Structure 1
Amino acid sequence: MLPIPKPRAMAGIAACFTVLLLAGCASKPTIHVDSDRNVDFSRYHTYGWQTQPDVPVPLMRQRLMDGIDARLQAKGWRRVTNGEVVVVAHVATQQQQTLTTMYDGGPYAGWGWRTPGFGTATTYVDTYETGTLVVDLFDAASKRAIWRGTARAVMPENPDKGNALLEQSLDGMFADFPPGTAAKSK
């Protein structure tokens, strides 16, 4: 028979589980892509930036622009001052919290169990930051939105992991760009 962990050990296990869960979230962004189905993307060959992305870290701003440039240029598009398509990108961040409550006491003590009448409860608060990257493409002549890619993830504190997350997000957004490419190649 396996030994039953003490309530304090259970609290540590739950805290570790929460940290691992959040770390797992940080490694994979949630990506969504949408486009105007009436637009023929094969007619576009040039693009330009409306303004530099609103990103608080200058190195990350440059990596974001370089990453988008590389993906559009890999599709045969050329960056010019007044392109046929205008690129707009920004990042929004928000703090999130998770609460984990541990119950202490009684034969069923531990995570998620509560014994009526005695014992104590301890709640742990884990604060983390989520970020959403939004990349919009507009037809320069009509000023209409033609494509949008978004990626949302838990923001890592380590810059190397942040760079990897940015690359993974852009790869996911531009995987089937321009729209209709995946259907034509199948």
Structure 2
Amino acid sequence: MLHPTRAWLALGLIALLAACATGPRISSDSDPSADFSRYRTFSFYRPLAIEEHGYATLTSGRIKAAARAQMESRGYVYSENAPDLWINLNAYLQEKTDVVSTPEVDYDYYYSYRARRYVAVPYWRDRAQVYRYTEGTLNVDVVDARANRLVWTGVAVGRAGRDAPERRAEKIDSAMADIFARYPYRAGSATATPPAR
């Protein structure tokens, strides 16, 4: 039988490994009436949601570059003049709190006159631990430029941390690739390939 301290250590290690193994949660949705075979060109919506102050930041530039690379890898051509699609991008951070309650056992001792010795009596209690973290959300909207109508959206939600700039760029590229893995269309194609799960 495992000692209670070792059992908690093992559970903590399993939880840590599970947290490291998972990436952001990805979701997507599309307009079933949209004719994706008509779309061949794209540009970025103006003003972009991530450039709410009217200027580009280093992070918004990285996000735009990652989205452009994903669109171009699917055969779309970047065109400022009369694009078929607008890409709008949004990203934000939110402080979150997790409260985890775990049961633990402790022992109280009392002297038993009948047994003529001290007896250990177990009792259970819950221990609450509070974890504060930052959650990041990255949203990609694909808009039919002629109809001014959303035809596809993809969202990545995950824990964010303070990273070095090169590591931040890798995470942005990875999150954008995860989002676009759910985008089943190619430029001018009438058939959609199934999105990655």
TM over 0.5: yes
2:173 equivalent to 1:167:
yes
1:22-171 aligned at under 5 Å gives the runs 23-24=19-20, 27-50=22-45, 51-54=47-50, 58-81=57-80, 82-101=82-101, 103=104, 105-106=106-107, 115=123, 123-159=128-164, 160-171=166-177
CA RMSD in angstroms, aligned pairs only: 3.3
Offset of 1:16 from its aligned partner?
5.3
Q: Which runs of 5+ in 2 are unaligned?
A: 109-121
* One-letter amino acid matched to 1:178: Y
Higher Cα Rg: structure 1 or 2? 2
TM-score by length of structure 2 reads 0.69
Shift of 1:105: 3.0
- The answer to whether structure 1 residue 177 and structure 2 residue 184 are counterparts is yes
Deviation at 1:170, TM superposition (A): 1.6
> Which runs of no fewer than 5 residues in structure 1 stay unpaired?
108-113
Q: Which has the higher strand share?
A: 2
Q: How many residues align?
A: 169
% identical aligned pairs: 22
- Say if 1:104 and 1:55 are closer, same or farther in 2 by CA, change over 3 A: farther
